[in-house]
Structure 1
Amino acid sequence: MRFLRGFGAAVVIVLCGTVTWSDTVRVETGGDFFTAGAVIDETLNTSGDAFASARTATVRGEAQGDLHVTGFDVTSNANTSEDLYAFGATVVVRGKTAEDLTAAGYSVRTEAASQTSGNARLFGNTVVIEGPVAGALTATGRDVVLNASVRGDARIVARSISFGPEAVIAGTLTYRSKEKINVPERVAAADRVIFEKATATDAWDEWDKMRKEMPVLPTLATMLFGFIVSLLFFVVLGAVMLGFMPRRLEKMRQSIARAPGQSMLLGVIGLSMLFGMVPIVGLTIVGLPFVPIVVLAIIVAWTLGYALGAYSVAMRVWVGFGNDAEPGNITRLLVFAGALIVVAMLNFIPFVGWVANYTLVLLGLGAMTNAVLQYLIGNPGEAFDIDMQPIEN
């Protein structure tokens, strides 16, 4: 859970870091430290977690919590009291990591000065391990070079595996390659070396193993259950809206029926404004902690817009077939549920389902945008022309 929380915050700082900034940005909130820019060389002294994102990112100093570094060229000289996560095209680790190290990139290297007290997980095209690992080592790449001591087990998957003079594995070495290699006795005794031949079907075997442990494709029963839950959610949402704001809901529905084209245009405008708020809020720097709130607002608006659009179209079809234009709430909910079922069936038709869903969202958001604009600028109502007649003496 700590990794997921940190990774989520790292995603935010990465997205904000993609904006072209001329200056380095630094923000502290809740004990966590965030920095982003084009090129950063930061000396850390944090009590919580630290996040750094840049095209070229170099960090030094001390991080009392987790350290997350992302960029094109990443260099970590900092000592980390907890976990270190480093991702980039080239990743170099020189500092000490008190717990686990996870690094991924095209070229990944831990230098002799680095020490990992927990487990090390390294992924890249070229992986060079020169820093000692107190726990277990997992290394995956095209070329893997081990030139450090590993106190725990080691698992290496690579096309080319080589060992330097400092390589020592105290636990069991499991390696997977196309051909069996000669593992020096000083690295690991023969009875602690396990060879697994790599084949062309390895990727499929790993996929099949994952599928059996945790099914990736949902079963029919799972899909049906998910649909029923979604249907109940939208029906309850419709009941709440009809119960608490029937007049406003009817007014928005009628605005869609009168001018569907205008509603779609306003929906595009409203949706653009919502998505545009994400980088705008991020650029204010102080608004970085509120970016998740804006994203949540987009999800809520999207859901409400979809429900309103489906309800409005369903009622228009209902009236179009000669039915009562002012039915009871139960009838309205049944019509709404029927529309949701039809739209769900359209999702099985490629492209058509996506267009139908997106159209409903735009219609609903357009009516909501229109209501907000009328509230902000006011609605003067009807204007009457008055003929001014001259006064006769």
Structure 2
Amino acid sequence: MLSALLATVSGPAAQAGEDGDRFAIGDDAFRAAQTVTFAEPGRADLFLGGERVSATSDISGTAHLAGRWLTLSGAVGGNAYALGQQIAVTGTVAGNATLFGQEVTVRGPVAGNLRASGSELEITGDIGGYALLAGERVALDSAISGDLALTARQVDFGPGARVAGTLTLYESTPGSLSVPASVAPAERVERRRIEQWEHDWGGPQMVSWRGALGGFVFGVLLVAGVAALIAALVPEALAAMRRRILDRPLRTLGAGFVALSAISGAGLVVALTGIGLLLTPAFFLLAALAGFFGYVVGAYAFGVALLSAAGRALPDRIGERALAAGVGALAVGVIGLVPFLGWLFVLLVLLTGLGALAIRLLPDHLLGSPRY
């Protein structure tokens, strides 16, 4: 499913050409194309998106990568975030690394914490903090200075594998995975049932105000980055959806309500057949993805409206569109903090953006509205 999603997102990049689009503001760099190779020294934060992405230069800030085949070989002075099909981190990461993919390889050292999820994980670089690993097959041949929480069907410990803290294994049958004494002594190995993984790592946790602020800022940057990627891949479609929202917001909102209801309702209807119960989670996942991209489009249109009200011209470059999306996401996020009414406003933005997506993707006669 991850491969299909990435193919959907990065597929249009082939139409954008090899050069794609690039933008820089301050010391931060933004790149989006079918093939992205970043080799510019002196940059802080990095935002790269495409089918094949490679970052070879050192940066002083945080790296954000999204695509199919991702390679991060330069040193990262901050944190590293990557979402892709194949991810390889060979450079040094001074902060934390959060990686989600099908095949994830970490050969460079990570000074902070490592959070990685995928079908196949290979960790050979030393970890300065804790490690949180979830996969089908995990190969570990590195020293972990903190704790290790691990769930996998198959685990291979190499000769260099060491866990200085507590090693917690989540297994379908406790005791099925063997741990050499050289990795961690028996008294520092905890075994739990796989069902406890969600309880331990998916439940509500106490969050500091710095963590909450960091999560808020990351959410704003994520929306801006996704909008910039869409603007680089399909700029005309994004502009058309923005015009649709600003020209006819109520009808677009209604289309979004119908679209989300149709996707969610289809999952329930399919479940009534009995056999279709297996497909119900896929419909709800599709509804979640549709809601996310609807929120991105809606926040972008709201940001354009705010900037236009401030006297700025309509955005026509990737950097201006990323700025508009960031402003919109920031404004929507702040308004969303208002109890009850804020959540309703966020929902309206999401449904309006989803409506623009539905009108753009579906044939005209289904919704009775032109695509623009």
How far the C-alpha of 1:298 sits from its partner, in A, is 11
Which protein has greater RCO, CA pairs closer than 8 Å, 6+ apart?
Answer: 2
Kept in 2: contact 1:160–1:177 (CA 8 A): no
Give the one of 23, 29, 51 matched to 2:47.
Answer: 51
Q: Distance in 1 between matches of 2:97 and 2:85?
A: 17
| TM alignment of 1:205-354, pairs within 5 A | 205=199, 209-210=203-204, 267=248, 284-292=317-325, 295=328
Deviations 1:242-278 (A, max 9, x none): xxxxxxxxxxxxxxxxxxxxxxxx7379969x95997
Aligned length: 239
SS of the aligned residue for 2:324 comes to helix
SS of the aligned residue for 2:187 comes to helix
Give the one of 146, 154, 164 matched to 2:158.
Answer: 164
RMSD: 4.2
CA 1:73–1:188: 2 relative to 1, 3 Å: same
How far the C-alpha of 1:291 sits from its partner, in A, is 2.5
Q: Distance in 1 between matches of 2:127 and 2:64?
A: 19
Q: AA paired with 1:81?
A: G
Q: Distance in 1 between matches of 2:32 and 2:206?
A: 39
1:154 aligns with 2:148: yes
SS of the aligned residue for 1:46 comes to coil
CA 1:39–1:186: 2 relative to 1, 3 Å: same
User: Corresponding residue for 1:175?
Assistant: 169
User: Corresponding residue for 2:61?
Assistant: 65
1:94 aligns with 2:75: no
SS of the aligned residue for 1:184 comes to coil
Q: Distance in 2 between matches of 1:117 and 1:207?
A: 22
Q: Distance in 1 between matches of 2:327 and 2:14?
A: 18
SS of the aligned residue for 2:16 comes to coil
TM-score, length-scaled by structure 2: 0.54
CA 1:276–1:72: 2 relative to 1, 3 Å: farther
How far the C-alpha of 1:31 sits from its partner, in A, is 2.1
Kept in 2: contact 1:70–1:86 (CA 8 A): yes
Q: Distance in 2 between matches of 1:140 and 1:43?
A: 32
Kept in 2: contact 1:44–1:78 (CA 8 A): no
Give the one of 185, 192, 199 matched to 1:189.
Answer: 185
CA 1:281–1:106: 2 relative to 1, 3 Å: farther
User: Corresponding residue for 1:110?
Assistant: 106
Deviations 1:361-385 (A, max 9, x none): xxxxxxxxxxxxxxxxxxxxxxxxx
Q: AA paired with 1:134?
A: G
TM-score, length-scaled by structure 1: 0.52
Deviations 1:150-202 (A, max 9, x none): 11111111222221121111121111112312211111111111111224x86
Give the one of 38, 43, 54 matched to 1:42.
Answer: 38
Q: Which moved more, 1:49-58 or 1:18-27?
A: 18-27
User: Corresponding residue for 1:3?
Assistant: none
1:76 aligns with 2:109: no
Kept in 2: contact 1:44–1:59 (CA 8 A): no
Give structure 2 stretches of 5+ with no counterpart: 1-8, 208-246, 254-299, 305-312, 333-343, 356-372
Kept in 1: contact 2:109–2:127 (CA 8 A): yes
How far the C-alpha of 1:47 sits from its partner, in A, is 3.7
Deviations 1:5-45 (A, max 9, x none): xxxxxxxxx89x86941123221113211111011111132
Kept in 1: contact 2:303–2:325 (CA 8 A): no
Q: Distance in 1 between matches of 2:330 and 2:170?
A: 48
User: Corresponding residue for 2:115?
Assistant: 121
Identity, % of aligned positions: 24
